[in-house]
Amino acid sequence: MRNKKKKIGLCIIFIVIIIGIYCIITPIFKEKSVEGLSEEYKTFGKDKFETIFVGSSVMLNAVYPLELYKQYGMASFNLGCGAQRMSSSYYIVKQAIREQHPKLIVLDVYLAGIGKDYPQEPAGFTHYVTDALHYPEKLEMINDVLPVNRRLDYIYEMGAYHERWENITKDDFEKIPSGRKGTYGAKVHYYSSPFESFGDVTSEKKELPKETEKYLRKIIELCQENHTEILLTLMPLDYSAQVTDINRSEWQGYWNKVQDIANEYGIRYLNFMYHYDELDLDKEKDTDGGTHLNGWGADKLTSYLGNYIKQNYKLKDVRSDPKYDFMKKDVVKFEKYKKELELASLSDFSEYLDALVKLKNEYADEYDVCFSVRDIQGYFLDDNIIKKMKKIGFINSEILLEKEYHSFIGITGGTENIEKYGGDEAISCDFYTKNKKKIAISSQTLNSGNNSIVQIGGENYSKNMRGFNIVVFDAKSEKVIDSVNFDTHVPEFTLSLIHI
pLDDT digits (tens, 9 = 90+) for 273-301: 999 999 999 999 999 999 999 999 999 99
Q: How confident is the model at residue 6 (pLDDT cuts 50, 70, 90)?
A: low
pLDDT at 34 over 80: no
pLDDT in tens, 366-393: 899 999 999 999 999 999 999 999 999 9
User: b/e per residue, 24-56, with b = 16+ CB within 10 A?
Assistant: eeebebbbbbbbbbbbbbeeeeeebbbbbbbbb
Q: How confident is the model at residue 122 (pLDDT cuts 50, 70, 90)?
A: low
pLDDT at 27 over 60: no
Q: Are strands 242-243 and 407-412 parallel, antiparallel or unpaired?
A: unpaired
Q: How confident is the model at residue 172 (pLDDT cuts 50, 70, 90)?
A: very low
pLDDT in tens, 485-498: 999 999 988 877 66
Query: What separation, in Å, do the N-terminal and C-terminal C-alpha atoms of the chain show?
Result: 66
CA 323 to chain centre: 26
pLDDT in tens, 305-357: 999 999 999 999 999 999 999 999 999 999 999 999 999 999 999 999 999 99
CA angle 339, 343, 346 (to 5 degrees): 140
What was the pLDDT predicted at 231?
98
Query: Per mean pLDDT, which range of 18-32, 96-110, 276-290, 295-309 is the poorest?
Result: 18-32
pTM: 0.89
pLDDT at 148 over 70: yes
What was the pLDDT predicted at 360?
87
pLDDT at 168 over 70: no
Please give the torsion angle defined by the CA atoms of residues 308, 310, 313 and 314, in that order, rounded to the nearest 10 degrees.
180
- Which has more confidence, 108 or 1? 108
What was the pLDDT predicted at 152?
82
Q: Are strands 438-445 and 367-375 parallel, antiparallel or unpaired?
A: parallel
pLDDT in tens, 152-161: 887 765 445 4
What was the pLDDT predicted at 500?
72
pLDDT at 21 over 50: no
pLDDT at 451 over 70: yes
Which percentage of the chain shows pLDDT scores above 90? 74
Query: Per mean pLDDT, which range of 13-17, 27-31, 120-124 is the poorest?
Result: 27-31
What was the pLDDT predicted at 14?
61
Per-chain mean pLDDT for the chain? 89
Give the number of C-alpha atoms closer than 13 A to the C-alpha of residue 353, restricted to the C-beta side.
Answer: 20
Residue type, 71: Q
pLDDT at 260 over 90: yes
Q: What region does 101 belong to: left with phi over 0, alpha with psi -120 to 50, or beta?
A: left
Q: How confident is the model at residue 17 (pLDDT cuts 50, 70, 90)?
A: low
What was the pLDDT predicted at 23?
47
* Residue (of 318, 330, 329, 93) closest to 221 by Cα position: 93
What was the pLDDT predicted at 365?
80
Strand partners, 375: 445
Q: How large is the greatest C-alpha to C-alpha distance in the chain, in angstroms?
A: 95
In this prediction, residues 246-261 reach a mean pLDDT of: 97
What was the pLDDT predicted at 22?
45
